[in-house]
Structure 1
């Protein structure tokens, strides 16, 4: 267990915290406010942001959708450059905040922004940025990762850079009251898989990280089993759990997997599957494919998260319990968006994984294209 951990993002958590924007961003800085399809104008969030920025010089950019595309984000980059923006504020869920990270990085780069996603340009500088979270899911509001798509080529890639770590994250659970159930379910599943990617690997004696991961999983299971977005505590617990699942803490000093995400990204890019639902499609098949390597941790999860007694089939029962949890939320665990052509779907995803260099995935780098094909054979209906 050897690591360096720091998370400099200031968290402003609780009701009414959007007002704190007035002091979180220096008034001397010119602000670009970035948001999505306009729901923030219906639920009062936009008005709260406007009030908080009354003493600031700011402009706005809207239209950042789920799985943000570089084609849209580059329009905001152009505005940031032309208007000499100093600070980018993302008001939305993980997609908007991921998009803001790209905007902040690309605004200080003169080349093609896609270079950042392809790893041709290493991000060292970026505009300052912050987040007002409206949908708990990705933890993007307090980490340094971003995932961006390219519609023209149906690609979805990620980058990480300390320079795009948000300066602050405003987290008011009240903004979740008007969210559709599908989005909240997606957020819950996303946080669940984020935790699993850092937990379901192999035992390494990391008692604190394992214990914290198990606490998060139990909390998310409780929230899923008692779904009630009108309850103040329910909303607050989901928002905080999703943040803690991917702020870097439970992943410090432990092996991490992320193969479910890498394969899932391709399903989202190719078939427009919701990100969280792509993870639910891939994960059970991946766990069965990597059963031997993950058996000990699956058994630990079965006992400590689901409360199962020890048995010969404990690990398999744990995988089944994960599947059942997804099904209880109305989330499918097989791909059905491929128009029924299973062979073509598998071939297409494998070709994309190969093109993106995803030839050795997982905590042991043991998921080659052969294993990915086996996983997809089980995951595609």
Structure 2
């Protein structure tokens, strides 16, 4: 196990009815910018609960943050923050709304071109405080310092990370997920699953706690994910999915172990060029990547197959084949197709995607830095 230093400052407030706690979670006297997406929170009662809890606070609203938050849209929010002298940010929604608001928090106090935060990895030295109310379990952004933003004018999807944009609190009420469309539920489960895999599916470093924790999360998602589609009003199922998605990327299982993240980097280009949902891109890339990197990931693939899918073949190559097939089958079971052709993307897309990877200098991806541009091309070709 590698050396590590771990601290997660986000307070999790979990359970039914906990949106009411906003009255004490948001600092007294704050002028709040309430950010959200397309307005679904007004149809499922969340918006009303939030405003009721914030009675007595001065609240300004900013809506329209996209499923892949747009740099251009977020800059409008930054202007509103400055014009209205906002002192606190409160995203209410899924991962994109929270990610977008993290960028607002950093950009509002950034001296210079805010695009540099993403494109040039300019250091974030200050950020506005924020909390969040999560309505879609998926990304884990509610308790980490990561954010991904898309600039549609240039077809670029880039990320930044800073401890300064950790939400101070995250309210997680599983009942607000009851009304989610099946596609969003499925995407959320796949997203969380791949988050675990990016931190687990590398090579052994004798981190028994992290491995077993990761395997427990994978098993939970495999068991509970399909049930969430079949029984969408079941509180216990929704609670387990919501908590698993948070635990998948709050930093805990990634401490002291190597991490990959190549699936995400390649997947981002699919979203930027073709508009696919984030989870769809992960479902496309991961099985092909596992096949391409099977020798480098051999020990972990065998462990994963044995412990998560209960495969016991003496022929290790066959076991690895079946492990990858089971992974693909799980995504398909959740209703998330796993090949580019399923989304109408043809073979000529590979050149365009590889060009974007080159533009963004994705020359040494993966836990070994051995996923070169040529290897990425092979992965994308296999994912057709």
Q: TM-score normalized by structure 2?
A: 0.97
- Report how many residues are paired: 379
1:185-244 Cα offsets, whole Å, 9 max, x none, are: 000000000000000000110000000000000000001342322111010000000000
Give matches, 1:357-376, under 5 Å. 357-376=361-380
Give matches, 1:1-381, under 5 Å. 1-227=2-228, 228-312=231-315, 313-336=318-341, 339=344, 341-342=346-347, 344-380=348-384
Q: Residues 13 and 332 (structure 1 numbering): CA distance in 2 closer, same or farther, change over 3 Å?
A: same
In structure 2, how many angstroms separate the alpha carbons of the residues matched to 1:8 and 1:217? Answer: 25
Q: CA RMSD in A?
A: 1.0
Deviation for aligned residue 1:310: 3.5
Deviation for aligned residue 1:338: 7.0
Q: Which runs of 5 or more structure 1 residues have no equivalent in the other structure?
A: none
In structure 2, how many angstroms separate the alpha carbons of the residues matched to 1:277 and 1:284? Answer: 12
1:57-109 Cα offsets, whole Å, 9 max, x none, are: 11110000100010111100000011111110000000000000000000001
Q: Secondary structure at the match of 1:100?
A: helix
In structure 1, how many angstroms separate the alpha carbons of the residues matched to 2:199 and 2:121? Answer: 27
1:10-59 Cα offsets, whole Å, 9 max, x none, are: 00000001000001011211110000000000100000010111011111
Q: Residues 265 and 216 (structure 1 numbering): CA distance in 2 closer, same or farther, change over 3 Å?
A: same
Q: Secondary structure at the match of 1:309?
A: coil
Q: Secondary structure at the match of 1:291?
A: coil
Q: Which runs of 5 or more structure 2 residues have no equivalent in the other structure?
A: none
Q: TM-score normalized by structure 1?
A: 0.98
